[in-house]
Amino acid sequence: MDRVALITGASQGLGAVLAAFLGGQGYHLVITARRADGLKAETDRLAALGITVTALPGDVADPAHRAKLVEAARGLGRLDVLVNNASELGPTPMPNLVDFDLEALRRVLEVNLVAPIALVQAALPLLKDSGGLVINISSDAALGGYETWGGYGASKAALDLASKTLANELENDGVAVISVDPGDMRTEMARMAFSPEEMAERPLPDITLPFWAWALGQEPMSISGRRFQAQEDLWEAQS
C-alpha cells in the first residue's frame, strides 16, 4: 500500500532529513518551506528515490497555503504522517521576554502553534481515513525557561500541550499525535542563535535517525499522547 507524508520546513535541517528518511521507506511526499530554491534542491534529491514528490513553497501561517498542502495530499490519495516541523525563532539577537516585540511574538505563535493546529484541522478527514500519525516538533526550550528563549519556548510549550490534548481528543478517531524534542543540532535556525564555536559542537540532524526509525515503526496509537526526546538514552521524556 502506498503511504503519504506531509512535511513542513522540509528544505533543510531536520525536515530534509525526515523527508529523505520517509522517502527511503517508500512514502510519497508533500513538502513545503518558505525558500523555493532550497525546496527545489531537496525535490531533485528526493526524486532519485523513485517516489512522488510534490513541493509547494510557501508560508504555513497562510491559510491558503495550508489548504494547498492538504489538497496535494488528497491528490495522492491519503495522508499517513503529518510532520509539523516549520518553526519561527523570532527576532535576533534574541530579546528578553519583557522586551519582546508583540507583533514578532504573534508571528512566532502563529507559525509554531497556530499553524500546526490548523494543519491538523484541515487534514483531519485524511488522517482519520488512514489512521494517521501527527508529529509536532518541539524543543528543550519548551521546558527550560532559558533567558531570551521565552517567545520560542512558550510557543513550543503550548505546542506540547496542544499535542497531548489532540491525542486525547482524537483517540476514538484512530489518529495518533506525538511531540518530539529533537535535541541540539547543527541547523540554520541554531546558527541564528549560537556562536560558531557552539555550533561546531552540535551534531547534524542525522543523529536523530535511530529515533525516527523506531517511532515510525511503531503502531501509531501505541505511542500517541507522548513526548519524546530524540537524542536521549530514554526517548520518552520523563514527567
Distance, in Å, from the CA atom of 54 to the CA atom of 60, rounded to the nearest integer, reads: 15
Each domain of the chain, given as residue ranges in start order, spans 3-229
Place of cell 541540539: 184
- Position 32, amino acid: T
> In angstroms, how far apart are the furthest CA atoms of the chain?
52
Per-residue pLDDT of the chain (239 residues; tens, 9 = 90+): 699 999 999 999 999 999 999 999 999 999 999 999 999 999 999 989 999 999 999 999 999 999 999 999 999 999 999 999 999 999 999 999 999 999 999 999 999 999 999 999 999 999 999 999 999 999 999 999 999 999 999 999 999 999 999 999 999 999 999 999 998 877 677 567 666 776 677 788 999 999 999 999 999 999 999 999 999 887 886 55
pLDDT of residue 190: 59
CA distance linking residue 78 with residue 182, whole number of Å = 27
Catalytic residues: 152
Q: How far apart are CA 113 and CA 160, in angstroms?
A: 9
* Parallel/antiparallel/unpaired status of strands 133-137 and 3-8: unpaired
- Chain position carrying cell 535556525: 189
How many CB atoms neighbour CB 162 within 10 A? 19
> Alpha-carbon dihedral of residues 193, 198, 202, 204, nearest 10 degrees?
60
Task: Enter the pTM of the model.
Answer: 0.95
Cis geometry, peptide bond prior to residue 93 (ω within 30 degrees of 0)? yes
* pLDDT for 74: 98
Q: Return the CATH class of domain 3-229.
A: alpha beta
Long-range contacts of 215-220, Cβ-Cβ distance < 8 Å, separation of 24 or more: 215/135, 215/178, 215/180, 216/21, 216/22, 216/25, 216/81, 216/133, 220/131, 220/132, 220/133, 220/175, 220/176
pLDDT for 198 equals 66
CB 141 within 8 A of CB 155: no
